[in-house]
């Protein structure tokens, strides 16, 4: 039988997310499609159940800020045909494209104690928490860089050739977008630090990992996405966040190796 200590966070998760689902369903401004609302509910339950309010606050910050930056210059972007579809309302593919890597890290935090209860378990959990924050830091950086670049980028260049291209081109980067993406990755990393999922070293790692992953995502967009019909924006987002999470973990392990004895990130 499951213990009360195990059940309580999941009951809170179901109750809270059901209440938020009802509010979002009747709200006049739709940030999610009906199907997106259901998948957002599933994600919210998973994150609260595994990481509590601390992990939930990180994903909520990503969702609210990410939805906000998507609407920057919306009229102009729609006129140019480079706006997000459905005026930025997220569907299931957007939910999991953005959050699959983070959800896997959260599940890892839940499962590790059942398979490994020695000293190494805490170190692994710390790395998973870092990967969790880094995945959302990466996605918010990517979203912000893209939307700010499309709205305010004065000059945009294809990342693989540095040739000038039109705003909204897959693989295009701009100075304005890049700087905005760095600020966004730092903001959500500091949220992760504020709720004690990572420490200040983890903040720095998340910013670096997000920068690496966001630029690699642009390379994928410029080289592969146009060649394969199955490589959708949502699938590229999955790759993007996985690269961010993996990069953060590898950077942490390298940092620990150089420090000769560092015990964890969180």
Segments making up each domain of the chain, as ranges: 4-259
Q: By C-alpha distance, which of 206, 184, 187 is closest to 132?
A: 206
Q: What is the rounded CA–CA span in Å between residue 77 and residue 23?
A: 29
Residue with tokens 């390379």: 219
- Helix/strand/coil for 16: helix
Q: What is the rounded CA–CA span in Å between residue 136 and residue 61?
A: 9
Query: Going residue by residue through the chain (266 aa), what tens digit of pLDDT does each one get?
Result: 344 455 688 999 999 999 988 888 787 666 778 888 889 999 999 999 999 999 999 999 999 999 888 878 666 655 555 555 555 567 888 889 999 999 999 999 999 887 766 767 889 999 999 999 999 999 999 999 988 988 888 888 888 888 888 877 888 889 999 999 999 999 999 999 999 999 999 999 999 999 999 999 989 988 887 787 778 888 999 999 999 999 999 999 998 766 544 444 44
Q: Are 93 and 234 in contact (CB under 8 A)?
A: yes
Q: What is the rounded CA–CA span in Å between residue 50 and residue 163?
A: 45
């Amino acid at each position: 039988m499951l213990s009360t200590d195990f059940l309580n966070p999941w009951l809170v998760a179901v109750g809270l997310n059901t209440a938020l689902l009802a509010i979002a369903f009747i709200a006049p401004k739709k940030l999610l499609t009906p199907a997106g609302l259901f998948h957002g509910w599933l994600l919210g339950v998973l994150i609260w159940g595994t990481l509590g309010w601390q992990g939930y606050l990180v994903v909520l910050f990503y969702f609210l800020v990410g939805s906000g930056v998507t609407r920057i210059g919306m009229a102009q972007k729609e006129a140019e045909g480079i706006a997000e579809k459905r005026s930025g309302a997220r569907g299931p593919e957007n939910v999991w494209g953005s959050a699959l890597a983070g959800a896997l890290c959260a599940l890892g935090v839940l499962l590790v104690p059942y398979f490994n209860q020695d000293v190494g378990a805490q170190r692994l959990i710390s790395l998973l928490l870092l990967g969790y924050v880094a995945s959302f830091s990466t996605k918010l950086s990517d979203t912000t860089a893209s939307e700010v670049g499309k709205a305010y980028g004065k000059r945009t260049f294809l990342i693989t050739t540095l040739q000038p291209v039109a705003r909204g081109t897959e693989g295009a980067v701009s100075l304005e977008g890049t700087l905005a993406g760095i600020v966004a990755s730092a903001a959500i990393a500091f949220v992760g630090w504020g709720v004690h999922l990572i420490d200040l070293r983890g903040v720095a790692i998340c910013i670096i990992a997000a920068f690496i992953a966001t630029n690699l995502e642009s390379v994928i967009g410029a080289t592969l996405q146009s060649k394969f019909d199955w490589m959708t924006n949502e699938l590229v987002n999955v790759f993007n966040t996985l690269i961010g999470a993996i990069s953060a973990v590898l950077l942490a392990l390298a940092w620990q190796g150089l420090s000769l004895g560092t015990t964890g990130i969180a």
